[in-house]
Amino acid sequence: MEIVTNSSFFGVFLSLGAYLFGLWLQNRFKKAIFNPIMISVALTIAVLACFKIGYIEYELSAKYLNYLLTPTTICLAIPLYRRLELLKRHFAAIMAGIASGVVTSMGLVWLLSKAFGLDRQMYITLLPKSITTAIGMGISEEYGGIVTITVAIIIITGVLGNMIASSVCKVMRIHDPVAKGLAIGTASHAIGTSRAMEMGETEGAMSSLSIAVAGLLTVAAAPFFAGLL
């Protein structure tokens, strides 16, 4: 076991293997509950706990995956570029849609924090739940939240959005691909965007745009919402 955990690529193989297993389950059963990201996270945690492998050891051998995050994020611009004319044609509506999503998300966190009597630290921790991890961590740290919990909440939000995006669109009778993409990207950032890209190129393009714009709007709105509690 020491040979395995000391391997420079143990974390990489474990992460990829867990994800591929989750992908196989999803393709096999065609159910939203078999979400590859959720399954890979649960399976990775189970393996680490079962063999008593520390997070630090895992992180050191999985760090190479982090190097791929930047080029992967940049690649999200490709479908947006292909739908640039669509963006120009509906620019005002798209910006208004993303802005309303950001305000709704942060406003609901405030309302629920008041309803359940959460203190300010936990309120700030939950506030950036619907934006990408890098920006959310910065907001949480700057205004006094618990960064590690913020990261967990952001991931959970993304996974849930990925799982229920299609069902919510069907229930709410949202058929326009632009509206679908904006809703998914604004509510569940990059993890949700992966689902939007499976739904179609237009959905993926709009969802990719939402990640960046929602992040910037959340940063701008954070001082106001942070002062409400």
**pLDDT tens digit string along 146-182?**
998 998 899 899 988 988 998 899 999 999 999 999 9
Residue 3, pLDDT score: 64
Residue 67, pLDDT score: 79
212-225 burial by CB neighbour count: b if 16+ within 10 A, else e? Answer: bbbbebbbebbeeb
Q: Phi first, then psi: what are they for 214, rounded to 5°?
A: -65, -40
- Contact assessment for residue 102 and residue 186, using Cβ atoms and an 8 Å cutoff: yes
pLDDT digits (tens, 9 = 90+) for 67-79: 787 787 677 778 7
Q: Considering the entire predicted model, what is its pTM?
A: 0.80
What is the C-alpha separation between 41 and 55, in angstroms, rounded?
Answer: 13
pLDDT digits (tens, 9 = 90+) for 28-38: 887 777 888 88
What sign results for the dihedral spanned by CA atoms 135, 137, 138, 140?
positive
Mean predicted lDDT score pLDDT of the chain: 88
For the chain, give every domain's residue range.
2-67, 75-226
Share of the chain above pLDDT 70, in %: 97
For 146-194, the DSSP string reads -HHHHHHHHHHHHHHHHHHHHHHHHHTT---HHHHHHHHHHHHHHHHHH
